[in-house]
Chains A and B, each alone.
Chain A
Amino acid sequence: MHLRPEVLFFVAGFPITNTVVATIITDVIIIMIVVILSKVIAIAPGNIQNVIETVVDYFNKTAEEIAGERAVFIYPWITSFFIFILISNLVAQFPGFETIKFRPTFNDGNEVSFFRAATSDLNVTLALSVISIIVTNYLGIRYKGIKAYARRFLSFKIFPVFLFVGILEFTNEFTKIISFSFRLFGNILAGEKVLMTMYKLLPIGFPLPFMMLELMVAIVQAVVFSMLTMVFMHIMTDKSH
């Protein structure tokens, strides 16, 4: 298992990697959830609606508690991050992930895994982090105005203290991207590696506790990513900061 995703084949020159396959599975599951919910949605919720309502309502209320009226714009983003990352992480626990092998025609006959957790691909985690930071900064401009937003990074008050602080803040935005993407990437990749090692050691029963641990990691990482995004969005949009 490599750090980079393995390319399975190409479609019109676009590389279809095993993480792209996992991403598509994640998308299909999300769309299925949406379709099923749109059919069963009612004032008195059923089982599926209850679960989804709990998640959406939790993030909605948490965003409202933290960001007040700005929660209207914040909660769809953080809930989407949570749902996407959670499903991506959970999908990786499906049987066949990392175990079903594929032999690409162009890869000198070397076998590669057909499925691999989407979030164990830095392209995915980096994309999510970049979206998170760009949206956070966009919301900052929208709520505070361009001048107040720019003052965060470029200020000549108590020269050169705030200028230095501005440089730190600017660097911090990039650090956030790195920390966001590598945290998620590292946790899921490490989890997969641990599971693969356990499978190789003793395939029956032995990996079970680690699978449980991975389930927890999957949930925790999704929560961490969305909560941090929410906090950053709140800080960026709050006029007192």
Chain B
Amino acid sequence: MEFMHKFGLQPSLFLFQIINFLIMMFILKKFLFSPLKKIFNERKYKIEQSLQDIENAKIILENANKKKYDILQEAKDNSEILTATAKASIKAMKEQSIFDAKNCYEQIIDDAKQKAEAEFENMNKQLGKISVDISEKIISKVLSNLFTDDEKQILTSRALEKMHEKITN
């Protein structure tokens, strides 16, 4: 009893403190810990959700990268095929062009040769005609002094005939 008095222990105060703490504990638990726990769980859920989203995004990114790589690979393959085809067709076109040009060039040369030959023949004929005319004039001038007109006529015509034959042969 003396101890209780010395330390001021009183049943009413002791009970008051017990009830007071229990009420405070109830208030804290109900209005502080529970909402905080809810917030913790919500936050945890959101963090987990975000981590899951990150994982999903990672997978999507990996797939996209793979797809991109596949597309690039396919494009590369296609471009190689196209390049090879283009090279082959260019080569074929080049060869065709060279061949055509060669043909054309030969054709032109042949034509030119033929034309030159024809020209040459024509020139020969004209030259023969000119020389016949000149000869005719020379002969008629030379013979006019030696023969009569009839003889001259006969000789001239004979000479001309002979020359004609020579030229035509």
Residues in A lying within 8 Å of B, measured CB to CB: 2-5, 14-15, 17, 20, 23, 27, 30-31, 33-34, 37-38, 41-43, 45, 52-53, 56-57, 60, 75-77, 79-80, 83-84, 121-124, 126-128, 130-131
**Interface membership of B17, Cβ < 8 A:** yes
Contact with A along B1-31 (1 / 0, CB 8 A): 0000111111011111110111111011101
In the A-B complex, the 7 residue pairs with the closest CB atoms: A4-B8, A127-B17, A123-B13, A122-B7, A80-B25, A127-B18, A34-B31
In the complex, the answer to whether A38 meets B31 with C-beta atoms within 8 Å is yes
- Which listed residue, A27, A38, A42, A130, touches B24 by the CB 8 Å rule? A27
The minimal Cβ–Cβ distance linking A19 to chain B, given in whole angstroms, is 8
17 further contact pairs, Cβ within 8 A, besides A57-B40, A80-B24: A3-B8, A17-B8, A23-B20, A33-B32, A34-B31, A37-B35, A56-B36, A79-B33, A80-B29, A84-B21, A121-B8, A121-B13, A121-B17, A123-B17, A124-B17, A126-B9, A131-B21
Instruction: Kindly list chain A residues whose C-beta atoms are within 8 Å of the C-beta of B14.
Output: 123, 126-127
Distance, CA A20 to CA B37, complexed state (A): 31
- Per a CB cutoff under 8 Å, which of B10, B22, B29, B42 touches A131? B22
Asked whether any CB of chain A lies closer than 8 Å to the CB of B43, the reply is yes
Report which of A4, A23, A57, A80 forms a contact with B17, defined as CB distance below 8 A.
A23
**Interface size of B in residues (CB-CB distance below 8 Å):** 33
Give the shortest distance, in Å, between A185 (CB) and chain B (any CB).
Answer: 8
Q: Which has the most chain A C-beta neighbours within 10 Å: B16, B22, B46? A: B16
Cβ of A128 and Cβ of B29 under 8 Å apart?
Answer: no
B6 and A4: CB pair below 8 A?
yes
| Residues of chain B within 8 A of A2, CB atoms compared | 8
Task: Compute how far the CA of A19 lies from the CA of B33 in the bound complex, rounded to whole angstroms.
Answer: 27
Q: Within 8 Å CB of B101, what residues of A?
A: none
B142 interfacial contact with A, CB 8 Å = no
CB–CB A31/B27 < 8 A: yes
- Asked whether, in the complex, the Cβ of A80 is within 8 Å of the Cβ of B36, the reply is no
CB closest chain-A residue, reference B8? A4
Partner of A123, one of B8, B25, B33, B43: B8
**Closest chain A residue, CB of each to CB of B46:** A43
Cβ of B118 under 8 Å from chain A = no
Q: Are B12 and A56 in contact (CB under 8 A)?
A: no
Known A4-B7, A130-B18: A83·B35 in contact at CB below 8 Å? no
